[in-house]
Amino acid sequence: MDEAGDAGGGSGGISSGLSTEGSREFVEDIVVVHEGGGMVHFLLITYAPGDSGNAAGYVFRRPVGSDEPAENILATNDTLRELWCSPQGHVWATSSTGLVWTSAPVPWTDAMPPDLEFDTPEGGVTWRHTALPTQAHNRGRPNPAAVWGTSDDDVHIATFGGVLYHWNGLDWSQFHPGIGAPIGAVRGRAANDVYAVGHSGTLLHFDGTAWTRIADPDGPDAADLLTGIAFDTDGDVYVTGRSGGGRILRGSARRGFSVAERDRVAALGVAFVAGRLFCAAGKGGVVEPTTQGPKTLRDDIAAWSIAEGEGRVYVTETPGEAAYSELDLATGRWHRRYY
C-alpha cells in the first residue's frame, strides 16, 4: 500500500481545513469520494469529538491518480454530507440542513442564511446553494442522504425522511412513497432507469415519469437495510443489504430481483468495475463476492463507503480518518490518499 503524502490544510478559519480551535482537537473524516471528468472530488468534514452533527464541510479535488495535494474548492460551516459530480463536470453537494450546493450554472437566487459561512480558497469555482422545499407530507425539513443524476438538469436526492426530490433544471418536485423509512442510496443507469433503496427493505424504481416499489424476493415482511446500488454491463442491478449476515440482490425492475448472496457480506455499499463486484463491509474491510465465495481484499481498514472510477475503486475509511484508499485494478496496487 502506498502512502500518498502528508495531510494538507491549516487552521484558523473556514477556508483553511480546520484541525484545531484553540486547544480543542477536531476530528477529520473523508466521507465521500467521486471520480468524474478526469478528477477525483472528495468531501471532508471536521468536528469536535462527539459532535459530528455540527461538522464543517470541505470539498477537495485532484487529478485521477495524482499524489499532489488536493485543491480546496469549497469550505463552509454547513454540515455537508453527500457529493456527486455531473457528466458536465460540476459538483453537487447536500447538507443535513436541507441545503443543496452546486458549481453548475443553475438559476438559484436564494438569500444566504444569516449563520451560513463559506469560502472558495482554491480553484476559482463559483458555487450556488438553495434550500430543498419542505416535505409536503409533514412540512418537515428534509435531511438529504444521497444525490445522483444524469446531468445538471436531471438530479435526484434521497432523504432520511423517505422523500425523493427531483431537479429538472427549473424546478424541484418531490415524491413520498408512504413507506415511512429513510432512503439512503439513489443511483441509475439513465434518466428513465433510476433506483433508490433504504431501510425496511425499501426498493424503488423511477421510469422517467413515476416511482414504483419493487417486491423484495424475501417477501413483504423483509426488514433489511438496503445500502448500495451497482450496475453491470449486462443490464443487471446489484443491491446490497446489511441486516443479519447481509444479502446481495440481483435483477432489474423489469424482471424482478432474486437473492444472489445471503449471509456472506453485510455491505455498506457496492461498486462494479471491470467486471468485478466490490463491497464496503465496515469493519470487515473490502470484500469481493466471487463464485468461490467472498474474497477479502482489505481487512486493515473499516470500509465506510465505496465508489467506482475508470479502472479504480475508491474506499473511505471513516470514522476518524482524513484519508481514502484507492485500488488501481490495472496494477492491483492500493494507494492511500490524503488531502
95 lies in some domain = yes
pLDDT in tens, 77-103: 999 999 999 999 999 999 999 999 999
Per-residue pLDDT at 24: 54
Query: Does the structure show a pLDDT above 70 at 10?
Result: no
ω into 217 cis (within 30 of 0):
no
- The three-class DSSP label of residue 192 is coil
Confidence of residue 189 (pLDDT cuts 50, 70, 90): very high
109 lies in some domain = yes
Could you tell me the three cell numbers for 83? 457529493
Residue 142 near residue 165 (C-beta atoms within 8 A) = yes
pLDDT in tens, 12-42: 345 444 443 443 588 999 999 999 989 999 9
pLDDT in tens, 206-259: 999 999 999 999 998 888 999 999 999 999 999 999 998 999 999 999 999 999
Q: List the end-to-end C-alpha distance of the chain, in Å, as a whole number.
A: 17
Overall domain count for the chain: 1
Domain that holds residue 85: 25-131
Percent of the chain scored above 90 by pLDDT? 83
Residue 239 near residue 228 (C-beta atoms within 8 A) = yes
User: Residue 303's beta-bridge partner residues?
Assistant: 282
Average pLDDT, the chain: 91
162 lies in some domain = no
- Residues 58, 265: Cα–Cα separation, whole Å: 32
327 lies in some domain = no
- Residues 74, 117: Cα–Cα separation, whole Å: 11
- Residues 322, 28: Cα–Cα separation, whole Å: 5
76 lies in some domain = yes
> Going by C-beta distance under 8 Å and a sequence separation of 6 or more, which residues neighbour residue 171?
none
110 lies in some domain = yes
CATH number of the domain that 112 lies in?
Answer: 2.20.25
256-281 mean pLDDT: 96
If you ran DSSP here, which 8-state letter would residue 303 be given? B
Is the pTM value of this prediction over 0.75? Answer: yes
Confidence of residue 3 (pLDDT cuts 50, 70, 90): very low
Amino acid at 44: L
127 lies in some domain = yes
119 lies in some domain = yes
